[in-house]
Amino acid sequence: MARPLILLIDEHQARVQQFKTVFEFMEYQIDVADSTDYPGCLEQTDSVYQAVFIGSGIDKLALVIKTVADADGKVPIILLQEQGALVQLASVLEPLLFRQLEWPSTYTECKSLLERLSASSEPDKVQRRSIDRRVFDRRLSSQQRLKGNSAAINRVCKLIHQVAEADATVLVLGESGTGKEVVARALHDWSLRRSKPFVPVNCGAIPGELLESELFGHEKGAFTGALNSRQGRFELAEGGTLFLDEIGDMPMAMQVKLLRVLQERTFERVGSNKTIHCDVRIIAATHRQLDGEIKENRFREDLFYRLNVFPIEVPALRERAEDIPLLVKDLIARMEAEKKGSVRLTDAALAVLMQHNWPGNVRELANLIERLAIINPNQCVDVKDLPEKFQHYVVPEGLKIISEEAAEPKQAANLSALPPEAALTPLQLPEHGIDLKEYLNDMESDLIRQALQECNGVVAHAAKRLKMQRTTLVEKLRKYDLQR
């Protein structure tokens, strides 16, 4: 039977030797890494660590803790603190730790800690790894659902990367159906609060007289029908993210109360005078033009400035029509994964979809693809098979859709299996010229993103797909500010 495996990330050689002596005596296998090579240990898919111990004197301690938590959200992380020289951690890092252990420690204390680790770990470690991988995949897919190579969607992704790890309030703006909640979930999933709840509230769908109870909760007997005490969404989101969708539809009376919570980080349940402190990140979204709402006295100006710390505007689909082939491919792939059928679209059909105005944005496109899959199951849809409102569009001459695999979702193109002359399509230099360096950088960063997605974020595997050294890929990740 294999010995349980522990990873120690430390650069204090004396402590490393002491640690190995104690834990190897307890029949544990120890992997040792420092602040530069520990990511390679975490990427070994055949290694399931029962725990990761991190020495407090390590370089970039906060980054190391966060990276370990990112790589395996369920593995217990124990921080080794030197006696008499305790390191104070930021409040956002403490929830990521299983425990802090002073070192040198006693045999009894180490044994007690290992017993707690065994009790908290799941019996089937391979199953646990697969669960954790699904958690990582969900975090990755929330941002990958922002499909596209257009400049507009790339700007949105860049803004998400910039603000995700900050605790700043974010205001997501955009028309209905553009994917504002997808942006909010991506912000949460890439933040330091990702292990805590993401709680969405649609402020426009809840009657104004019930919204206060929904957000702040109520006590028993606070109003007719309040038969029991109830937690509000602020309490449910404690430590995590509260997403206030359609904030522009919130009644003025509730706007005053929300402003107070944002300023003081305290609130009271309905029917109670007990003050509750909250630690919640606020992400708000609206399809309304809040400047106009302020002029019409339907939205408070002071609340707008409190929410508008970091605005992100999600582009309408008509503003990024070049992303439609990728979106269609993604929508079909999701339908197939959910066993909802499949469909194929010809290049001509895609070209017609790219000319449409899409007032309902991505939501309207998703509904169309689902309807086509019902009417034409597992068939190839051409222009004549599209609904009547698409029939007046003219198919361009010399048609060539860049993303050909969007028309063949079941057989994605394998460029590595083709000869070079077949894998590349001749490009036409635009009349106004092109910034070649920027164009090549965008192409390179997009291919790196695709490789990471296909390899579930494992850098070593992605490097093989791209036929480059792992260290080279890591440098390019830093260069393009890409998350792993």
Which residue, chain included where needed, has tokens 């190579």? 149
Residue 462 tokens read as 């992605």
Enter the pTM of the model. 0.55
Residue 9 is classified by DSSP as E
Q: Are strands 99-103 and 77-82 parallel, antiparallel or unpaired?
A: parallel
List beta partners, residue 276. Answer: 267
- Residue 336 burial (CB count, 10 A): 16
Reading the block at residue 482, the tokens are 């890409």
Would you say 393 and 355 are in contact if contact means Cβ atoms under 8 Å apart?
yes
Q: d(Cα 9, Cα 55) in Å, to the nearest integer? A: 6
Alpha helices in 239-281 (DSSP H): 252-264
User: Is 89 in contact with 96 (CB distance < 8 Å)?
Assistant: no
3-class secondary structure, 178: coil
Whether the CA torsion 464, 187, 198, 165 is positive or negative: it is positive
Mapped to the 3 state alphabet, what secondary structure does 193-224 carry?
A: CCCCCEEEEECCCCCHHHHHHHHHEECCCCCC
- Token reading at 217: 């909760």
pLDDT of residue 413: 35
**Can you spell out the DSSP letters for 373-434?**
HHHSTT-EE-GGGS-GGGTTSPPPTT---S-GGGG-TTS---GGGS-HHHH--PPPPPTT--
Q: Work out the angle at residue 307's Cα, subtended by the Cα atoms of residues 229 and 63, and round it to the nearest 5 degrees.
A: 90
Burial 356-392 (b: 16+ CB within 10 A, else e): bebebbbeebbebbbebbeebeeeebbbebbeeebee
Structure tokens that stand for 96 in this block: 């990521």
Q: For the chain, 484 residues long, give each residue's pLDDT as a single digit of tens.
A: 457 789 999 988 888 888 888 888 888 888 888 888 787 777 664 557 888 999 888 878 888 888 888 776 678 899 998 876 667 776 667 778 888 888 888 877 888 788 777 765 544 444 443 333 333 333 444 445 566 778 888 889 889 988 988 889 999 999 999 999 999 998 998 888 888 899 999 998 888 778 888 899 888 887 777 778 888 899 999 999 999 999 999 999 999 999 999 999 999 998 888 899 999 999 999 999 999 999 999 999 999 999 999 999 999 999 999 999 989 988 898 888 778 888 999 999 999 999 999 999 999 999 999 999 999 998 999 999 999 999 998 887 666 554 434 333 333 333 333 333 333 344 556 666 667 777 777 788 878 888 877 777 777 778 888 888 777 887 788 777 776 5
Q: Which residues contact 236 (CB under 8 A, 6 or more apart)?
A: 197, 199
Can you give the C-alpha Rg of the chain in angstroms? 26
